[in-house]
Amino acid sequence: MQDIINQYTNTIRVAAKCKSPLRIRGGGSKDFYGNNINENNCDILSVTAYTGIVDYDPTELVVTARSGTSLADLEAELQMHNQMLGFEPPHFGSDATLGGCVASGLSGPRRAYVGAVRDFVLGVRMLDGNGNDLHFGGQVMKNVAGYDISRLMTGSMGTLGLLLEISIKVLPIPPIELTLRMQMKEATAIEKMNQWAGRPLPISATCFYDNNLTLRLSGAESAVRAAHTKLGGELISDGLAFWNSIREQSHTFFQSGKSLWRLSIKSSVPPLILPGQQLIEWGGALRWFACGENVDADVNIIRSKSDLAGGNATLFRNNKKSVSVFHPPRSEMIKVYQRIKGKFDPAGIFNTGRMYREL
């Protein structure tokens, strides 16, 4: 495997010398995500060859794997030991890799109740823009030696370096999961989801769509049954398929072909009045809007409403991408981001512009 790393190092050093941009890619399942990069101008740095689990001892609750490892293979291995990735990452395709999962920083339905990718990342091995092979964090839960570079890398969309290996905390698969559904209006659903999250209930996912609130309970059988009795609601038999359709965006809502906006906001904000259809996740903290084709007309209203709602709006899926995909940060933040990028990637070669045009 060291020969593969040597190849990567070489590619990076040559690219840095010529200041020629590289596009880091795993399985390509998240190519749609982020600003468009002009493919003609950059070489692809593919990590698909760098695969395999480096270390996994279920009783340590930690797995270390190479970035090119298939996410599906990794999850299958964990499942054999009755464990899982707690943040339920979306794959968006069978080619999804662990590296792409961590670099994109996307988490699934369990996120509001269990945590995000960044909450589970414990350590990384990476190559920076000088081709240096670096280790940060480690395989232990508690580690405060040095700055938290592992989490800084998480969600950085490949703009800071090439992830080689990632150590992630894993969780036991809950003994039982039940999915419940109840009919209600949006305002009531938002209220309920926030109320319930403030009570000790084993809720592990929520979704509001088309006047139906669907929720998942996870945990010990006795606890889950007791919570069902407390909350009521109709038991849904194909819960697994439903949550998978939300996680992988195969649900009807996501299939409209319209521009898909992802609004990450304060969970208790009352219903947002915006054009298009809506689906709510994460106890009210994540609101998806499928809007019309005219992104330029919608962008200002969507971004200003999400500012007011204490959050941000990402243009998650749209082929045109005439606007910045990610919510523009304030100017002083962009300056800090640029300085950090400059330290990791002095020649500015990694995924340039994919997150923000300035980076």
Give me the torsion for CA of 13, 14, 17, 20, rounded to 10°.
Answer: -110
Q: Does 3 bind another protein (CB under 8 A)?
A: no
Binding segment (CB under 8 A) for another protein, from list 4-12, 23-31, 72-80, 321-329: 321-329
Map tokens 């990637």 to a residue. 345
Token pair listed for 262: 């992802």
Give the one residue of 255, 322, 342, 357 binding another protein; rule: CB under 8 A.
Answer: 342
In the complex, minimum distance from the CB of residue 202 to another protein, in angstroms, rounded to a whole number: 7
Which of 298, 345 has the CB closer to another protein? 345
Binding mask 67-106 for another protein (x = CB under 8 A): ---------------xx---------------------x-
Are residues 359 and 340 in contact, defined by beta-carbon separation less than 8 angstroms?
A: no
Residues in 119-138 that interact with another protein by CB under 8 A: 119, 128, 132-136, 138
Which of 71, 313 has the CB closer to another protein? 313
Q: Does 175 bind another protein (CB under 8 A)?
A: yes
Total chain residues near another protein (CB under 8 A):
87
Which of 46, 176 has the CB closer to another protein? 176
What is the β-pairing status of strands 234-236 and 176-183? antiparallel
Token pair listed for 246: 């939300």
Are residues 286 and 108 in contact, defined by beta-carbon separation less than 8 angstroms?
A: no
Q: Does 237 bind another protein (CB under 8 A)?
A: no
Q: Please give the Cα distance from 339 to 343 (Å, whole number).
A: 6
Are residues 253 and 288 in contact, defined by beta-carbon separation less than 8 angstroms?
A: yes
Binding segment (CB under 8 A) for another protein, from list 40-48, 88-96, 112-120, 233-241: 112-120
In the complex, minimum distance from the CB of residue 262 to another protein, in angstroms, rounded to a whole number: 10
Binding mask 195-234 for another protein (x = CB under 8 A): x-xxxxxx----------------xxxxx-xxx-------
Q: Does 301 bind another protein (CB under 8 A)?
A: no
Q: Please give the Cα distance from 257 to 303 (Å, whole number).
A: 21
Are residues 260 and 319 in contact, defined by beta-carbon separation less than 8 angstroms?
A: no
In the complex, minimum distance from the CB of residue 170 to another protein, in angstroms, rounded to a whole number: 11
Residues in 276-295 that interact with another protein by CB under 8 A: 282, 285-286
Q: Give the type of residue at 283.
A: G
Q: How many residues belong to the chain?
A: 359
Q: Does 24 bind another protein (CB under 8 A)?
A: no
Binding segment (CB under 8 A) for another protein, from list 92-100, 194-202, 239-247, 252-260: 194-202
Q: Does 270 bind another protein (CB under 8 A)?
A: no
Burial pattern 294-332, b for ≥16 Cβ within 10 A else e, equals ebeebbeebbebbeebebbbbbbbbeeeebbbbbeeeee
In the complex, minimum distance from the CB of residue 320 to another protein, in angstroms, rounded to a whole number: 19
Which of 43, 177 has the CB closer to another protein? 177
Binding mask 34-73 for another protein (x = CB under 8 A): -----------------------xxxxxx-----------
What is the β-pairing status of strands 176-183 and 286-291? unpaired
Give the one residue of 110, 251, 303, 327 binding another protein; rule: CB under 8 A.
Answer: 327
**Strand, helix or coil at 151?**
helix
Which of 292, 342 has the CB closer to another protein? 342
In the complex, minimum distance from the CB of residue 65 to another protein, in angstroms, rounded to a whole number: 16
Measured in degrees and rounded to the nearest 5, phi and psi for residue 348 equal 65, 50
**In the beta sheet, which residues pair with residue 235?**
180
> Burial level of 27, CB count in 10 A (0-12/13-18/19+)?
buried
Q: Does 314 bind another protein (CB under 8 A)?
A: yes
Binding mask 142-171 for another protein (x = CB under 8 A): xxxxxxxx-xx-xxx---x----------x
Give me the torsion for CA of 66, 71, 75, 78, rounded to 10°.
Answer: 0
Residue 132's contacts (CB-CB under 8 Å, 6 or more residues apart) are none
